[in-house]
Amino acid sequence: MTERVEIKDTFGELQERLKGSKDSFGRLMREVVNSGVCTHCGACVATCDFLIWDEVAERPKLVGKCTGCGVCYVQCPRTIIAPRDLIGRYQSAYTGRSLIPEIKGQDGGVVTALLLYALEKKLIDCAVVTAKSTEEPWKPVVKIVTTREELLKTSGSVYSHSQTLIGLIDAIKQGYHSIGFVGTPCNIDAVYKMWKAPFGLVRLYMRANILAIGLFCMDSFSYEGLRSFLELNKISMSDIEKMTIKKGKMQFIQKNGEILEVKVHDLDRYRSSSCQFCTDLTSENADISVGSVGSPEGYSTILARTGIGLEILLDAAEAGYIELQPMPRSKMKWVFNLARMKKAQQYTVRTRRRFILGYEEPTPTPPPGGELIEAKGEIKDTGTIIKDAAARTKMIKFSNLNLSSDQKEIEFKLINNSGNSLENITVKISHITEFFEDHKWFTNIDVWYPFEELEFSYPRVKENENEYLCEIKDRFGTIFTRKIEIKKLLAKLEKAKQSK
Ligand SMILES: Cc1cc2nc3c(=O)[nH]c(=O)nc-3n(C[C@H](O)[C@H](O)[C@H](O)COP(=O)(O)OP(=O)(O)OC[C@H]3O[C@@H](n4cnc5c(N)ncnc54)[C@H](O)[C@@H]3O)c2cc1C
Ligand code: SF4
Ligand code: SF4
Ligand code: SF4
């Protein structure tokens, strides 16, 4: 007779083991189901008595009180759980700081102290690092440094892409063979490819030894974007002493001691587009990785990955350049959590398509009798259309209704909030009077990706303006309508202006 498996006991044991984790059914819904990557396998439903499979919505459904134990989350084939899958291979994790008083690092100053040790002990002939431009404050510039004085000027983080690989190849061309290199995870991936892949330039033609020190990295921003954001806040780039990102907030610390703090999310429009598609938080291909998450203020979190990385780290500590302590397991969980957020981002990328609508002059008007006239709209679609399987649901979110700065266009966003791709969609926007519909504009969307935002900019009619209508149809009929009452919108904007 086969032995009966007691699911209840196993479930309880797993709950006990996962105690304190932040995983829950809500997280599973957010990361997997709502983002449209659920495979409909039913593993979560099979796990928990509070879950059933909703045949209509084709998704798991909670029918009891979720305790947030996370057992369903860890069963799902789409979630990433194992430490190695989250932050790559590493031999040891430490928290540490520089013991060199002149180093004023971003966090613990460990990166600069390690490079100093390697330069002074002649383990490397130069270091390829990123400094701030003296002509354009906070613009990243790559430097090849060989002395203590030069190196000390390059500590600190610059939150914009730096062309570090140009510096690396320049250093090799200048005849340096042992090179310390610092970069973000995407920079480290470029080094890895050029150095280790079969057709890599460095591997084939430019033999060199590279000590790759990778930074942790969640985002970087356009330099011009950050500059204009600060200008809007009446701050010049040259007034900034330091920028930091901690716990979802970016701080701009000014030389006069004042701090402008904003949510990183509020800087989304300036975020480099590449970062939305990035899943490596901790520079998984580096020899040593360094970041701040998990360590107290003034300390860095350090992962020694390769043999040479670990050796140099321990030697630098023995020689008195840095102080090291093993990273407590309880603190590593912050690194894993942030890494998981970044990995899950691949499922939650919100693509955007922008539609700027315009009519040919003169604006067509309805003829007597009310026959509808098709307006000739010029459509600019700057996005890519993603082909994907789809299911039909009726969940559209209408948001960000506003007027353009010159008040000539009505702007709004439509978000496919259904969690599924929607196919063969027609969006119609028109002006409506009591009896007629005019200035109609249509667009067809082959596939509307889950959570994809469609941005619209629709020109207001110049004469006898009344109301507008947005209507969305799929092949089965109308799935969304929304009347835009322009008078109400104008009154709301006026009120907001007066209360400022
Ligand atoms: C764009 C960016 C985003 C980051 N995001 C996070 C995050 O989300 N979480 C986290 O824990 N840590 C993040 N970090 C890492 C963190 O800011 C520190 O760099 C890290 O903790 C090392 O601190 P330190 O005091 O030891 O380094 P320091 O001794 O101050 O040395 C910093 C080194 O970084 C190099 N550097 C600075 N800017 C760049 C750049 N743009 N590109 C390449 N190299 C550069 C410098 O050359 C210098 O060698 C980020 C860093 C950057 C550059
Ligand atoms: S109680 Fe059930 S639904 Fe809630 S997290 Fe635990 S396993 Fe998932
Ligand atoms: S376990 Fe994950 S993939 Fe499977 S049905 Fe549940 S949410 Fe979907
Ligand atoms: S988030 Fe990724 S792509 Fe963006 S700077 Fe960091 S490592 Fe590079």
pLDDT tens digits, one per residue of 226-253: 998 999 899 999 999 999 998 889 999 9
Backbone angles phi, psi at 16, to 5 degrees: -60, -45
Q: Are strands 178-183 and 126-132 parallel, antiparallel or unpaired?
A: parallel
CATH architecture of 87-220+272-346: 3-Layer(aba) Sandwich (3.40)
**Chain centroid, CA 213 distance in Å:** 22
Nearest CA to ligand 1 atom 50: 217
Pairing of strands 59-62, 51-54: antiparallel
- For a mutational test of ligand 3's pocket, the pick from 24, 39, 52, 74, i.e. the residue with the most ligand atoms closer than 8 A to its C-beta, is 39
Is 213 touching ligand 1 by the criterion CB < 6 Å?
no
Q: Which string of b and e fits 161-176 if b means at least 16 CB within 10 Å?
A: bbebbebbbebbeeeb
Span from the CA of 16 to the centroid of ligand 2 (angstroms): 13
- Work out the burial of residue 413: count CB atoms within 10 Å of its CB; fewer than 13 is exposed, 13-18 middle, 19 or more buried: middle
Rounded CA Rg of the chain: 28
Place of tokens 């892409």: 161
Class of domain 7-79: alpha beta
Distance (Å, rounded) from C-alpha 331 to C-alpha 411? 45
What band does 104 get if pLDDT is binned at 50, 70 and 90?
Answer: very high
C-alpha span between 102 and 109 (Å, rounded): 10
Q: Using a 6 Å cutoff on CB, does residue 379 contact ligand 3? A: no
| pLDDT of 47 over the 50 cut | yes
- Ligand 2 pocket test, pick from 61, 66, 81 with the greatest ligand atom count within 8 Å of Cβ, gives 66
Q: What is the Å distance from ligand 2's center to 89 Cα?
A: 30
Tens digit of each residue's pLDDT (9 = 90 or more) over 389-445: 333 345 788 999 999 888 989 999 998 877 667 788 899 999 998 778 888 888 888
For 346, which DSSP code? Answer: G
188: Cβ below 6 Å to ligand 1?
Answer: no
Q: Which two tokens stand for residue 51?
A: 């879950």
Say how far apart CA 267 and CA 248 lie, in whole Å.
11
Residue 6: the pLDDT is: 64
Instruction: Count the neighbouring beta carbons within 10 Å of the beta carbon of residue 494.
Output: 10
Least confident window among 13-27, 105-119, 372-386, 406-420: 372-386
User: In the chain, where are the structural domains located?
Assistant: 7-79, 87-220+272-346, 352-498
**CATH homologous superfamily of 352-498:** Immunoglobulins (2.60.40.10)
Of 62-76, 145-159, 338-352, 460-474, the range with the lowest mean pLDDT is: 338-352
Question: What is the reported pLDDT for 302?
Answer: 98
Ligand 3 centroid – CA 82 distance (Å): 17
Which atom of ligand 3 is nearest to 43's Cα?
A: 1
Kindly state the percentage of the chain with pLDDT values over 70.
89
